[in-house]
Amino acid sequence: MSTPVIEVTNLRKLFLAKRSGLFDREEKFVHAIDGVSFTVGRGEVLALVGESGCGKSTLALTLMGLERPTSGSIKIADQEITALNGRGLQTVRRHIQMIFQDPYESLNPMMTIGDIVAEPLLVHKLARNKQERQTRVLRALEDAGLKPAGAFLHRLPHELSGGQRQRVVIAGALVLEPDVLLADEPVSMLDVSIRAEILNLLVELRRARGISILFITHDLGTVGYIADRIAVMYLGRIVELGPAEQILRRPQHPYTKALLSVVPVPNPRQRRERIILQGETPNSVVLPPGCRFHPRCPIAQPRCREIDPQLRLVPAGHVVACVEVEPKLFREDVP
């Protein structure tokens, strides 16, 4: 893999759910992110997938510095950012930008498109004069697929379609010429036909600009097109991580298999048997003992209630956190 532009090590983010009181001294916490480690190479697309509430968006906000981590390390281009604030954090944000899920809520309805895209340049004091600022805004709009860019400068967000609004959000991220884009469900609010256009745009930006992308989604149906690697997240932890093609073709963790089993496929002969998980995701305040997935796992054994599995390496760099998967894979790897 190429040199990491993002390096996350044992990251934890806990939210206080209950303070200690007069009769109950115990504090309780929501385990939003609980021991997550991964890297994103320069020019790489890593897809982070999982159900709603697994911690994907909290992870993105923590990488942006919008949430302070409880513990662990985050390095952006070899710079540790967990202790940064104020001007130091602002400098880092020039290199890492976020595309939010909802383009309707991401844009100020009272500002023109030109002013919205130009605002990051004003905040970071990057343009020397108005002419340079407008040149960079026009280039960002063009790169985001809004052509001719000049026709959009003086329009307001309500005059645009959903797809056009999301392109404005992308232009606002591109105008700083970042090294990393954090795309948090960037197509989930869009029509199916527009989703393909935005995905194609992200692929082209990665190719033309060499931008690294952390692509956050709950839809495994889209990641095969855009991602180099896939990280599957469940209840604050990554349970499977590896090359996209390998995970999509040969998923090993039972949770990954369940997610893939419900992805629609056009050829009925290639459809998988659906795996419907029973019950609800456990409470992230009171975590189940042992494996966090065992209350819903279709292959759970008694030892799964006792052993908390860690990510273990299997052939081709594929890592899985499941005690039922590991022995089989390693026996296959023995000559």
pLDDT 10s digits, 256-295: 999 988 887 766 666 677 887 887 888 888 899 999 999 9
Of 177, 207, 237, the domain-final residue = 177
Of 159, 177, 195, the residue at which a domain comes to its end is 177
Q: Do the domain assignments include residue 17?
A: yes
Q: In what order do the strands lie in the sheet with 237-243?
A: 96-99, 180-184, 212-217, 45-49, 229-234, 237-243, 318-320, 312-314
Task: Identify the pLDDT of residue 332.
Answer: 41
Positions of E strands within 136-283: 180-184, 212-217, 229-234, 237-243
- Within this chain, do residues 317 and 295 fall inside the same structural domain, yes or no? yes
Question: Residue 330's pLDDT is what?
Answer: 43
- Which residue range forms the structural domain that includes residue 300? 4-95+178-333
Predicted local confidence at residue 334, as pLDDT: 35
- CATH code for position 77: 3.40.50.300
Pairing of β 180-184 and β 96-99: parallel
Residues 232 and 315 in one domain: yes
Same domain assignment for residues 135 and 238: no
Residue 209 sits in the same domain as residue 294? yes
Q: What is the pLDDT of residue 333?
A: 40
Q: Do 165 and 250 fall within a single domain?
A: no
Are 251 and 120 part of one and the same domain?
no
**Final residue of a domain: which of 135, 161, 177?**
177
171 and 191 share a domain?
Answer: no
User: Number of structural domains, the chain?
Assistant: 2
Co-location of 173 and 186 in the same domain: no
Same domain, 168 and 26: no
Could you tell me if residue 244 is inside a domain?
yes
Do 62 and 185 fall within a single domain?
yes
Q: Does residue 100 sit within a domain?
A: no
Q: 297 lies in a domain?
A: yes
191 and 206 inside one domain: yes
- What does the buried/exposed string (b/e) look like for 155-177 if buried means 16 or more CB atoms within 10 Å of the residue's CB? eebeebeebbbbbbbbbbbbbbb
- Average confidence (pLDDT) over 12-32: 80
Residue 89 is assigned to a structural domain of this protein: yes
- Of 3, 17, 7, nearest in space to 286 by CA: 17
Would you say residue 237 lies in a domain? yes
Average pLDDT over residues 226-237: 95
Beta carbons of 32 and 66 less than 8 angstroms apart = no
Q: Which residue has the higher pLDDT, 275 or 42?
A: 42
CB atoms inside a 10 Å sphere around CB 251: 24
Q: Torsions phi, psi of 247, nearest 5? A: -70, -40
Confidence of residue 45 (pLDDT cuts 50, 70, 90): very high
For the chain, give the mean pLDDT. Answer: 87
- Residues 270, 327, single domain; the answer is yes
pTM beyond cutoff 0.85? yes
User: What's the average model confidence in pLDDT over 93-101?
Assistant: 89
Q: Within 13 Å, how many C-alpha atoms sit on residue 175's CB side?
A: 29
The answer as to whether 101 is a domain residue is: no
Residue 13 backbone zone (phi > 0: left; psi -120 to 50: alpha; other: beta)? beta
- CB contact at 8 A, 37 and 75: no
